[in-house]
């Protein structure tokens, strides 16, 4: 699971096509000579899919093993997160929402007049890109879900291993019933001796 790139984009009806304001990429898994082509393709996909994303809408578009997660806020500020196919969409949208909120908070309304692509410097974009490479560490809910999945697997293994022993389990149940009867006898005799304990 990995995040390949993210972009913060200005959209709006006054524009012919969306304007990428800031872009961050993690292309180390591609060959050196492929990286520029991959980055250009990411920008093409970002512009193409952002044109087709309405304000307030979230969508994930799959393309050749990668998924471009798109979101446009009602004010026209939007963004994309491009991941591999295994990356959880929910985490990508959480990241995108937080990134856009922080961008709007720090930039104010200045982004609404930008027309030059990739002309807004926003260092937190690279930080988000690194932080969200491992979705389980970056997102608490995903981490909890992963821990629950592991616990469930352990429980299934434990139950399966107990059921394989069948006969031994019945013996344990019988012994447990015997122990329970002996415990009641012990309490009854303790009651008679000490007359301080109540057994129902």
pLDDT of residue 143: 60
User: Which stretch of 3-7, 65-69, 111-115, 167-171 has the lowest confidence by average pLDDT?
Assistant: 167-171
All residues at 6 or more sequence positions from 184 whose CB lies less than 8 Å from its CB, including other chains? 199
User: Both ends of the chain: CA-CA distance in Å?
Assistant: 58
Average pLDDT, the chain: 77
Q: How many CB atoms are closer than 10 A to CB 131? A: 15
d(CA 133, CA 3): 6
Is residue 183 pLDDT above 60, yes or no? Answer: no
Q: What is the Cα–Cα distance from 82 to 62, expressed in whole angstroms?
A: 10
- 74-110: per-residue pLDDT in tens? 899 999 999 988 888 888 888 898 899 999 999 988 8
Q: 141 or 9: whose pLDDT is higher? A: 9
The tokens for 13 are 């009806």
* Domains of the chain, CATH where assigned: 3-166 (3.30.450.50)
Look up residue 82 and give its DSSP letter.
E
């Amino acid at each position: 699971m990995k995040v390949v790139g993210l972009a913060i984009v200005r959209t709006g009806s006054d524009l012919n096509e969306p304007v990428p304001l800031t872009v961050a990429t993690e292309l180390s898994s591609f060959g050196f000579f492929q990286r520029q082509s991959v980055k250009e393709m990411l920008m093409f996909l970002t512009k193409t899919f952002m044109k087709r994303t309405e304000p307030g809408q979230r969508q994930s578009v799959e393309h050749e093993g990668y998924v471009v997660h798109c979101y446009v806020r009602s004010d026209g500020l939007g963004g994309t997160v491009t991941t591999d196919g295994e990356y959880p969409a929910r985490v990508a949208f959480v990241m995108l929402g937080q990134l856009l909120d922080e961008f709007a908070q720090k930039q104010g309304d200045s982004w609404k007049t930008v027309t030059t692509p990739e002309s807004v410097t926003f260092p937190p974009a690279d930080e988000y890109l690194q932080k969200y490479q491992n979705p389980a560490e970056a997102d608490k809910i995903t981490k909890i879900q992963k821990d629950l999945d592991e616990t469930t697997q352990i429980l299934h293994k434990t139950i399966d291993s107990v059921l394989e022993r069948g006969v031994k389990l019945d013996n344990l149940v019988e012994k447990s019933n015997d122990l329970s009867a002996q415990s009641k006898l012990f309490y009854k005799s303790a009651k008679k001796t000490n007359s301080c304990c109540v057994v129902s």
